[in-house]
Amino acid sequence: MEIAIVGTGYVGLVSGTCLADIGHQVYCVDIDQEKINKLKKGIIPIFEPGLEQLVKHNQAAGRLHFDISLKRVLPKVKAVFIAVGTPSAPDGRADLQYVYAVANEIAANITDYKVIVDKSTVPVGTAQEVEKIIRQKYQGDFDVVSCPEFLREGSAIADFAQPDRVVIGARTKRAADLMLEIFQPLKGEKFVTSVPSAEMIKYASNAFLATKISFINEISQICHKTGADVEEVAYGVGLDSRIGPKFLKAGIGWGGSCFPKDVKALDQIAGDNGYDFRLLKSVIEVNQNQRRHFVARVKNSLGDLAGKKLAVLGLAFKAKTDDIRESAAIDIIKILLAEGALINAFDYEATANARKVLGDSVKYHTDPYTALKGAEAVLLVTEWPQFKALDWDKIKNLIKQPLVFDGRNLLDRSKMKEIGYHYCSIGQEDIRQK
């Protein structure tokens, strides 16, 4: 089927490429001329494992096209996916100006039946608003559908190819059937529901996952004080099939471009509808505390941080991405800088993005070992698996004292103990050498 995807950000580019890969003719549209020029040459603006090859493969197969004009693309397609950004407005609400701008452009150029698909995460009621905007200028037949995205950065292609579910919120059978045809090649349940329910499923899913993480982070605080081990607790709890093992990894709190934005937006949606979502407010608060507790532990060990050299391993909000939006690593660095610490940082992909927000306040390294040299403590804040494989014997001789704060419980505790580190992880007893 011929499909347009408007917005070549993370969601748009990944879903457009993957839709082309399952056989559709996809036209990715973006108003950023430079980005489109680069994409035409196979240059990808984001780091996502496997994406570059998949873009090139589908371009070469003639299924994936890039354009700056929705007006030009519109007559060729049956469905238009809106995948533009919905950033947080200062009050936490989703800022929908880009979604509505696309709706206006569709309204000005639509001439026959199309299905307009809200792919961006948008509050309940947005599809109705999009419909209203188009209806003002076009009296013909069309449908607006909600089809939220559940991809995770770092594993987006696999998430697209093997989805747990595809949620389709549609008002008419015609629109639902067209959507089912688009996603027919994928396994996983296709759940057709009402438009508002589909819009809510997305927020409820992200808010629930964030709650699950904040919950285990709260448990980690008590584990740390009582001698229980949060890793073992999470494992034991996750064995209950009603709970499940996923998203029970304690750490320094969730970040990224989605959870923080969507959790705040859902709290706003609740408030706008006269309901105080108290649980969600606590979920956000716990998440902030988790970062502060981590820094407090560093301060407890080192005392005044002014002038102390700290090595920070990781800048991205999680492994396998260059994304630093709402990254706990960046928040922690900002607190440490405010305390006067000298930061030497290393990340496998996110340094360029981190530099844009932290500037020269941090010393960036292209090699983890040089970042670690002479440090008074090592703070591991992004769970890149490569950090586990570093030569921790060698590192012990590079750093000033063998003190490691593992904010992701990534390293092997017993190995760290054996080498002779003071090892402080999340929700576990500190290992202190005599």
Q: How far is the CB of 373 from ligand UGA (least distance, A)?
A: 27
H or E element at residue 363: strand 363-364
- Phi-psi category of residue 314: left, alpha or beta, with phi > 0 → left and psi -120 to 50 → alpha: left
Q: Determine the Cα–Cα distance for residues 43 and 169; give it in Å rounded to an integer.
A: 34
Binding site for ligand UGA (CB under 6 A): 121, 149-153, 206, 209, 213, 247-249, 251, 254-256, 258-259, 317-318
Q: Which residue, 230 or 424, has its beta carbon nearer to ligand UGA?
A: 230
For residue 258, give Cα distances in angstroms to 285, 371, 375, 392: 17, 30, 33, 34
Q: How far is the CB of 330 from ligand UGA (least distance, A)?
A: 11
- Residues in CB range of 273: below 8 A, 6 or more apart: none
Q: Determine the Cα–Cα distance for residues 168 and 84; give it in Å rounded to an integer.
A: 18
Q: Which of 18, 28, 223, 258 is catalytic?
A: 258
Task: Please count the CA atoms within 13 angstroms of the CA of 293 that sit on its side-chain side.
Answer: 23
Helices (H), 193-277: 195-226, 230-238, 259-272
**DSSP bridge partners of 316:** none
Provide φ and ψ at 342, rounded to 5°. -100, 120
Q: Which residue, 58 or 257, has its beta carbon nearer to ligand UGA?
A: 257
Q: How far is the CB of 406 from ligand UGA (least distance, A)?
A: 13
Q: Which residue, 109 or 155, has its beta carbon nearer to ligand UGA?
A: 155
**DSSP bridge partners of 65:** 27
Q: Which residue, 58 or 206, has its beta carbon nearer to ligand UGA?
A: 206
> Are the C-beta atoms of residues 234 and 245 closer than 8 Å to each other?
yes
**DSSP E strand boundaries for 279-337:** 309-313
Edge to edge, what strands does the sheet with 309-313 contain?
A: 363-364, 342-346, 309-313, 377-380, 403-406, 422-425
Q: How far is the CB of 92 from ligand UGA (least distance, A)?
A: 16
Q: Which residue, 118 or 376, has its beta carbon nearer to ligand UGA?
A: 118
Q: Which residue, 142 or 317, has its beta carbon nearer to ligand UGA?
A: 317
Residue 258 annotated to the active site? yes
Q: Which residue, 198 or 258, has its beta carbon nearer to ligand UGA?
A: 258
For residue 381, give Cα distances in angstroms to 251, 327, 341, 378: 9, 9, 16, 10
Q: Determine the Cα–Cα distance for residues 79 and 170; give it in Å rounded to an integer.
A: 13
Q: How far is the CB of 172 from ligand UGA (least distance, A)?
A: 26
Just list the catalytic residues.
258
